[in-house]
Amino acid sequence: MWMARKEVNNMPVLKYRKLPVVIEAIQLTKETFDEAVAFINTSSPGCYPSKDICVILIPTLEGDIKAIENDHIIKGVKGEFYPCKPDIFEQTYELADVND
């Protein structure tokens, strides 16, 4: 099988395609804030109304990561949570059939 290949610093760089896995996600908005907090089951959410924007701190092994309003919060294949910007989410994911 031929694989697309190039080299950077004499090391092979290969092309990969994401496996078709089904994930769970919720888009963070003022209207979905409570549901997003429940989704990630965190005790450290933050909402900053003075800036008129919702922020949730998502605890990870690397420390807390901010999800800001309109980000999608994704539950990964190992149960981990992380934010994804709306444009990247739209390019990477599509709505799954409920039977998946």
String of DSSP letters for 26-62: EE--TTTHHHHHHHHT-S-EEEEGGGTEEEEEEEETT
Q: What is the pTM of this model?
A: 0.77
Residue keyed to tokens 């003075």: 50
Which pLDDT score is estimated for 47?
60
Structure token digits, residue 89: 């989410």
Separation of alpha carbons 100 and 95, rounded Å: 10
pLDDT digits (tens, 9 = 90+) for 55-91: 888 888 888 899 999 999 999 989 999 999 999 999 9
The pLDDT of 34-46, averaged and rounded, is 80
The more confident residue out of 23 and 7 is 23
pLDDT at residue 15 in the model: 83
